[in-house]
Amino acid sequence: MLSRMIAYECPRCRIQSPTDALTWCCPRCRGPWDLAFTSAPVSLPSLAPRVNSLWRYTEALPPLPYGPEVSLGEGRTPLVRLTDSVSAKLDFLMPTLSFKDRGAVMLAAHARRLEPRTVLADSSGNAGTAIAAYGARAGLDCVVYVPGGTSPKKLEQIRAHGARVVEVPGDREATARAAREAADEPGVFYASHVYNPYFLHGTKTYVYELWEELCGRLPDTIVVPVGNGTLLLGAALALDELHRHGLVDTRPALVAVQAAAVSPLAEAFHAGAEDLTRPAATRPTLAEGIAIPAPPRARQVLRAVRATGGTFLTVTEDQIRTAQRDLARRGLFVEATGVACWAAVNAAPPRPGLTVVPLCGAGAKTGLVP
């Protein structure tokens, strides 16, 4: 079926590459790929008897024959009311305790088909953990590059899955650079949650699940933590698809949240810029999972937020601390990065209608912040 033919495509240069090649970025601009892929409409009434994981949205997903084999039952996380107008989607209840499993399972299923010598990932923690787990499930050799100083519990989890860990001195960007160099070696599949667009087609199931849970409707506002923007861009993909197929009438606002300490996208957004104009000044933050000074998909993130009439919010370290304790007192123990959206929603003026925040990673991974 022609509409299901897929290729990598650079959103800037429009250069295409077959998805069965190991070419991890656009050869001209070295930017991340998109996937030239057209989803088919998902039929809401047909969903009830399907598999209880994100693989139930099969029409929306790029064809991945090894998906069911590699699956660990990811997805279908609960939506829980926090206040009259704010609900939380508990994405920390995933096989590796973070939302990254949504994308990692796609990359592992894709890599399983390509049979590379090594699968390589770089991550401040959660994505590396997810790739290690799904790589183990798929029987693939995995190596994960992490910044020095990454939480010991995260490293322990990565190693427990059989992946090798390479600790790179310096900041997150130094780790990304080292990984990109290693990714150019022959036989390496770069399982990058930033560069490989299969990841975004996994994270988009976050919104398909909201749509199903709310019986074919969507919340008025979807708040998402943004570092590289992988959940936000997945959400934007799903909103486009649901809209294009006539499955929703309205488009929720996408509200992006960054830590004030590392907020290049929020600064660019409020300056009216289409891209990052200069490297952002950064300070240490408790929200290590979204501390990304120069996200490669910045342009796409800014455009996606503007297209929905959304905005950017930032949160302080004190607000993160307070939000983590507040959620814990409500029965939800969430890691510091994962509480940023709840912190932001509490500090901002209330928005009309239903707002959904994701709680992206489990508190057990990092403990209570000091």
User: 83 Cβ partners below 8 Å, 6+ apart?
Assistant: none
> Which of 17, 19, 24, 26 touches Zn ion (CB under 5 A)?
26
Q: Which is nearer to Zn ion, 192 or 311 (CB)?
A: 192
Q: Which region among 29-37, 155-163, 210-218, 321-329 touches Zn ion (by CB under 5 A)?
A: 29-37
Q: Which region among 24-32, 85-93, 142-150, 287-295 touches Zn ion (by CB under 5 A)?
A: 24-32
> Which of 4, 5, 13, 279 touches Zn ion (CB under 5 A)?
13
- When asked if residue 25 is in the footprint of Zn ion (CB under 5 A), the reply is no
Q: Tell the smallest beta-carbon distance from residue 113 to Zn ion (Å).
A: 25
Q: Give me the residue label for tokens 């570092």.
A: 227
CA 338 to chain centre: 12
- When asked if residue 12 is in the footprint of Zn ion (CB under 5 A), the reply is yes
Element at 169 (helix H, strand E) = none
The single-letter DSSP state of residue 362 is B
Q: Which is nearer to Zn ion, 26 or 343 (CB)?
A: 26
Q: Which is nearer to Zn ion, 28 or 283 (CB)?
A: 28
- When asked if residue 28 is in the footprint of Zn ion (CB under 5 A), the reply is yes
Q: Which is nearer to Zn ion, 18 or 49 (CB)?
A: 18
Kindly state the tokens that stand for 115: 């049979």
Q: Which is nearer to Zn ion, 29 or 160 (CB)?
A: 29
Q: Give me the residue label for tokens 């600064």.
A: 267
Q: Which region among 20-28, 185-193, 257-265, 335-343 touches Zn ion (by CB under 5 A)?
A: 20-28
CA 41 to chain centre: 22
Strand 164-168 versus strand 188-190 pairing type: unpaired
Kindly state the tokens that stand for 66: 């090894």
Q: Which region among 6-14, 57-65, 126-134, 222-230 touches Zn ion (by CB under 5 A)?
A: 6-14
- When asked if residue 108 is in the footprint of Zn ion (CB under 5 A), the reply is no
Q: Which region among 31-39, 65-73, 240-248, 266-274 touches Zn ion (by CB under 5 A)?
A: 31-39
Q: Which is nearer to Zn ion, 26 or 268 (CB)?
A: 26
DSSP state string for 96-163: TSBTTHHHHHHHHHHHHHH--SEEEEE-SSHHHHHHHHHHHHTT--EEEEEETT--HHHHHHHHHTT-
- Closest residue by Cα to residue 41 from 245, 292, 261, 293: 245
What's the CA gap between 340 and 126, in Å, rounded? 16
CA 118 to chain centre: 22
CA 7 to chain centre: 21
Q: Tell the smallest beta-carbon distance from residue 17 to Zn ion (Å).
A: 10
Q: Tell the smallest beta-carbon distance from residue 306 to Zn ion (Å).
A: 22
Q: Which is nearer to Zn ion, 17 or 263 (CB)?
A: 17
Main-chain dihedrals φ then ψ at residue 281, nearest 5 degrees: -70, 135
> Which of 4, 5, 21, 29 touches Zn ion (CB under 5 A)?
29
Element at 222 (helix H, strand E) = strand 221-225
- When asked if residue 218 is in the footprint of Zn ion (CB under 5 A), the reply is no
Q: Tell the smallest beta-carbon distance from residue 245 to Zn ion (Å).
A: 28
- For Zn ion (CB under 5 A), the number of binding residues is 7
- When asked if residue 299 is in the footprint of Zn ion (CB under 5 A), the reply is no
Q: Where are the alpha helices (DSSP H) in 214-297?
A: 230-244, 264-270
What's the CA gap between 255 and 56, in Å, rounded? 27
What's the CA gap between 7 and 20, in Å, rounded? 9
Q: Which is nearer to Zn ion, 22 or 214 (CB)?
A: 22
Q: Which is nearer to Zn ion, 26 or 257 (CB)?
A: 26
Footprint on this chain of Zn ion (rule: CB under 5 A) = 10, 12-13, 26, 28-29, 31
